[in-house]
Amino acid sequence: MGNVLDELTWRGLVAQTTDEAALRKALDKPLTVYCGFDPTAPSLHFGNLVQLIVLRHLQRAGHRVVGLVGGSTGLIGDPRPSSERVLKTKEQTAQDTERIAQQVRRILGAGGANPPVFVNNLDWTAPISALDFLRDYGKHFRVNQMVKKDAVAARLNSEQGISYTEFSYQILQALDYLHLFREFGCTLQTGGQDQWGNLTAGADLIGRAEGTSVHVLTTPLLTDSAGEKFGKSAGNAVWLDPSMTSPYAFYQYWLNVEDASVVMLLKVFTDLSRDRIDELAHQVAEEPFRRTAQKILAAELTTLVHGSAAMEAVRAASEALFGKGSLSELDAGTLADATAELPGGEIPEGSSLIDALVACGLADSRNTARRLLKEGGVSVNNEKIVDPDAVLSETDFLHGQVALLKRGRKSMAAARRLRA
């Protein structure tokens, strides 16, 4: 089985541990590990994917993995350093919990020789009365320690302060670790570096309630060469739900990462061997224009999150946009995703191509558009057009939605059909 801690460390997935030597020894034998995911949104995002990757490594190394979705902790919300969370309804939290549970199951898998365990902390938290919560769990916590947690301290020093609801969150999360220790013999919890305080609260609770030591491991915050967080696209989070970040946009995000970060991301997010990653690192240094490492990263991650069929559709769309495939063969959803970020405009059916080029920003005037057509620099759906009197007909709008206009090889725009 080997010691997976060395692999996690090499891949840059270890920021802190409660006791590295003790954890290393514990990992020499199969143990049970868990990570929790709160439904603070309808989908997991890039940061959550890091934790799922860690669990996959541990699972493959022979350790039993527990994926926890926070049906109860999601009703409260982990305190943010800036402001109080707006509580969602119980119904919305339940819906988001199920959606996230499905994502966790898809990434970790449900079969094989070492299947994961999936749990919802609402199952053991809901039956606890307020008195039992205070007597059985609250008594183990010291307020002077709780207020030292980074997010809590920041809120206490703000004008808004912090509600008792959010202040109690760390007790709820700690209760999860204690329950899983008792139920499954769980002795390792993983999470992001920013969760260190909450994670160690669980380890401390087990120490006080059970008189034994357990382990915590956190992953580092992933940043680019400028110190900016990964996982933001045009100011929005990169989500794992295809309705929130399309597979095409997801693929393009990873395809466009900088050369300085791609090798680090390959280590974190793929199962590629050290030798293969070394080869790609050499290629990044010698032939960065090929962007081979980025293409492999994007393909591996898109396949992991969205499946091989979605990956093939994305690849076909990407190639078709640049003239290496047929746009007409793309399904309507993939075509919409592939053209969603392109500049353009709404164009009535029957409009002259000259007017469409101007309206979509590919020409600054009708004279410029006419000249581009005469010079053979314009295409519609990858078909070169030279007729200055050409119009956009019904058949030019693929799936009745959009026509891809190009000026030269790289300047593209989406002429979206104007509905009457």
- The pLDDT tens digits of the residues spanning 101-120 come to 999 999 998 777 899 999 99
- Between these two residues, 86 and 210, which has the higher pLDDT value? 210
Residue type, 348: P
Place of tokens 């570096």: 193
Q: Model confidence at 82, in pLDDT bands (50, 70, 90)?
A: confident
Q: Model confidence at 65, in pLDDT bands (50, 70, 90)?
A: very high
Q: What residues does CATH 3.40.50.620 cover in the chain?
A: 4-219
Q: State the average pLDDT over residues 353-379.
A: 95
**DSSP-assigned letter for residue 398:** B
Q: What residues does CATH 1.10.240.10 cover in the chain?
A: 246-325
Place of tokens 């794992």: 240
What pLDDT score was predicted for residue 1?
Answer: 42
Task: Encode 97-124: b = buried (16+ Cβ within 10 Å), e = exposed.
Answer: bebbbebbeebbeeeeeeebbbbbbbeb
Q: Tens of pLDDT along 182-192?
A: 999 999 999 99
Q: State the average pLDDT over residues 137-151.
A: 90
End-to-end CA distance of the chain: give it in Å, rounded.
64
What pLDDT score was predicted for residue 2?
Answer: 56
What pLDDT score was predicted for residue 232?
Answer: 67
Per DSSP, what are the bridge partners of residue 413?
405
Among 66, 59, 190, residue whose Cα is nearest residue 112: 59
Picking from 4-8, 74-78, 129-133, which range would have the lowest pLDDT averaged per residue? 74-78
- Contacts by 305-314 with C-beta closer than 8 Å and gap 24+? 305/49, 305/107, 305/240, 305/247, 305/250, 306/242, 306/247, 306/250, 310/242, 310/247, 311/247, 311/251, 313/247, 314/247, 314/248, 314/251
What is 4-219's CATH topology?
Rossmann fold (3.40.50)
Q: Tens of pLDDT along 302-332?
A: 999 999 999 999 999 988 988 888 898 999 9
Q: Model confidence at 404, in pLDDT bands (50, 70, 90)?
A: very high
**Average pLDDT of every residue of the chain:** 93
Supply φ then ψ for residue 237, to 5 degrees.
-70, 150
Q: Which two tokens stand for residue 166?
A: 């959010």
What's the rounded Cα separation, in Å, for the pair 290 and 299?
Answer: 15
CATH 3.10.290.10 fits 344-417, yes or no: yes
Q: Which two tokens stand for residue 409?
A: 């090889």
The CA-CA-CA angle for residues 110, 120, 112, to 5°, reads: 10
CB 405 within 8 A of CB 385: no
pLDDT beyond 70 at 64:
yes
Among 156, 138, 128, residue whose Cα is nearest residue 209: 138
Residue type, 266: L
What's the rounded Cα separation, in Å, for the pair 277 and 300?
Answer: 13
At the fourth CATH level, the homologous superfamily of domain 246-325 is: Tyrosyl-Transfer RNA Synthetase (1.10.240.10)
Rg of the chain (C-alpha set): 26
What's the rounded Cα separation, in Å, for the pair 184 and 178?
Answer: 10
pLDDT beyond 80 at 12:
yes
pLDDT beyond 80 at 86:
yes
Place of tokens 């769990």: 137
What pLDDT score was predicted for residue 420?
Answer: 62
Q: What residues does CATH 3.10.290.10 cover in the chain?
A: 344-417
Helix (H, G, I), strand (E, B) or coil at 297: helix
What's the rounded Cα separation, in Å, for the pair 19 and 214?
Answer: 9
Sign of dihedral through CA atoms 6, 8, 9, 11?
A: positive
Q: Tens of pLDDT along 227-278?
A: 888 876 666 789 999 999 999 999 999 999 999 999 999 999 999 999 999 9
pLDDT beyond 50 at 81:
yes
CB 296 within 8 A of CB 270: yes
Give Cβ neighbours of residue 209 (< 8 Å, ≥ 6 apart): 140, 178
What pLDDT score was predicted for residue 113?
Answer: 83
Residues in the chain: 420
What's the rounded Cα separation, in Å, for the pair 333 and 345?
Answer: 19
What's the rounded Cα separation, in Å, for the pair 105 and 233?
Answer: 25
Instruction: Report CA-CA distances (Å) from 379 to 97, 132, 283.
Output: 47, 71, 34
Q: What percent of the chain has pLDDT over 70?
A: 98
Q: State the average pLDDT over residues 15-21.
A: 96
What pLDDT score was predicted for residue 409?
Answer: 84
What pLDDT score was predicted for residue 119?
Answer: 98
What's the rounded Cα separation, in Å, for the pair 5 and 56?
Answer: 13
